[in-house]
Structure 1
């Protein structure tokens, strides 16, 4: 079951898009993707604060009350099972010219089923030739201009990998095409700093917060590619998959270490928000582990 809210109303069927919509024509907009469980969007306030801050920097109108109204309308009709909730905000319709101001920012909220068996699944990475630019707003914000990540993901897929390792213009580690990256070294978590052409992910921030309570130090700094092969473990974080162990980089196996403490911390935080362990799938009134679904 998929749901759509567009510019003020629930929509059943195709969208009517104005031919001057800058989100369509120029990728002039932003988006946030959240996991909704039990009709609750996880880490909702953090997502919306990031969207608001990015909109302010890009000069796109942001009406928090309007966004909340749209989310409430969609979640009220959504099933309690796992759903992908996406909020897309565009500059709207404007006259020709890159610096033109949009009128009535476009707002699209969609809701689609999500398979929780995809969470926590190990992943192998291939280093992309596409580099992230630390001076680009497209690197720092979750913009509709996603072509670099798309190209990197397609490059990785052509090499038999599900995701790509993306370096920045200086050849240092930035992120994957859709996730932040962490290295585990003893009792220290290391992750590329904010100036390394990364998007500061919501799950990244949630894990950094949890790490202190788990007795781990956190270093946000420059990371060289060579450090990945020397770490005790490497893993990815994002808002849908939570944590994904990286098993190999460019066909070279990486060290593996137990990440269950981090998994438990994030799942506990999610359960406090929605009253449901995100590792469990819905089966009527009963739930069962997501791994059981695929016999894993």
Structure 2
């Protein structure tokens, strides 16, 4: 494991007790797949991070960040790794609306064992709801308590939690976007449904014509999941993973190998 923080590699991380990320979860992050020292979809991840930082008033220096990433990635020592970039407002005085002038930037690089990725996942619907108007729903912030609570709620009976929004429509899982495949149509919840618009999701949406599919972005009723030819979930590390069951009921298992092959082209 390599960890870079505020300009230097560190063995142990020491944080100011006024650090906003620690005290208030006031920060953002990106998790990026690395293959043979190359960060996959890096530009898209950094563009999303820049948009999020701007929306939340966090200082974001992309030039500085890219320099730090270069220093970290040259330490790559495994065929497959995961890169995490965390940016917080840093230490500040008291007050929710206060601005910080010393943001904390931390980058870590860890081995990632692809052999442990699941061939499929079981979902269970959580009682926790995604609020489409909440920043924590559509920005990738370090305030992940809803996802943690939902994952703990379904632990032991499913691999991940399915989260609905406050209107009862399908939103996402704790770590992934949700897609339905029905005939030649891909269906996924639209951006206003309380989802974090994922990078792998965007790649798939951009490639639907090449995949010979059409795309529907709209509210998705939970009942639609039971009648889909396939349900699958996506994120930047796992790519597309079939859902085998939801709340103990089997899902359609039409193969999605062509979708994964399309995503994996960027990894070669």
| TM-score (normalizing by structure 1) | 0.89
Match of 1:170 among 164, 167, 170: 167
Partner residue of 1:3?
Answer: 2
Deviations 1:163-218 (A, max 9, x none): 01000000000000100000001100000000000000000001111222111001
- The question of whether the paired residues in 2 share the 8 Å contact of 1:132 and 1:174 is answered with yes
Structure 1 residue 120: Cα displacement: 5.7
- The question of whether the paired residues in 2 share the 8 Å contact of 1:120 and 1:242 is answered with no
Q: How does 1:185-204 map to 2 (within 5 A)?
A: 185-204=182-201
Structure 1 residue 269: Cα displacement: 2.3
Counterpart of 1:195 in 2: which secondary structure?
A: helix
Q: How does 1:5-154 map to 2 (within 5 A)?
A: 5-11=4-10, 13-119=11-117, 121-154=119-152
- Larger deviation: 22-31 or 207-216? 207-216
Once superposed, which parts of structure 1, at least 4 consecutive aligned residues long, lie more than 4 Å away?
A: none
- The question of whether the paired residues in 2 share the 8 Å contact of 1:211 and 1:262 is answered with no
In 2, distance between residues paired with 1:212 and 1:227? 23
In 2, distance between residues paired with 1:187 and 1:78? 40
Deviations 1:78-134 (A, max 9, x none): 114111100000011111010111122110000111011234620000000000000
Partner residue of 1:266?
Answer: 263
- The question of whether the paired residues in 1 share the 8 Å contact of 2:40 and 2:266 is answered with no
Counterpart of 2:203 in 1: which secondary structure?
A: helix
| TM-score (normalizing by structure 2) | 0.98
CA RMSD, Structure 1 to Structure 2 (Å): 0.9
In 2, distance between residues paired with 1:126 and 1:117? 24
In 1, distance between residues paired with 2:239 and 2:116? 10
- The question of whether the paired residues in 2 share the 8 Å contact of 1:119 and 1:240 is answered with no
Structure 2 gap segments, 5+ residues each: none
- The question of whether the paired residues in 1 share the 8 Å contact of 2:29 and 2:87 is answered with yes
Aligned: 1:155 with 2:146: no
- The question of whether the paired residues in 2 share the 8 Å contact of 1:127 and 1:164 is answered with yes
- The question of whether the paired residues in 2 share the 8 Å contact of 1:27 and 1:144 is answered with yes
In 2, distance between residues paired with 1:120 and 1:157? 16
Counterpart of 2:154 in 1: which secondary structure?
A: helix
May I ask how many residue pairs the two structures share in their alignment? 268
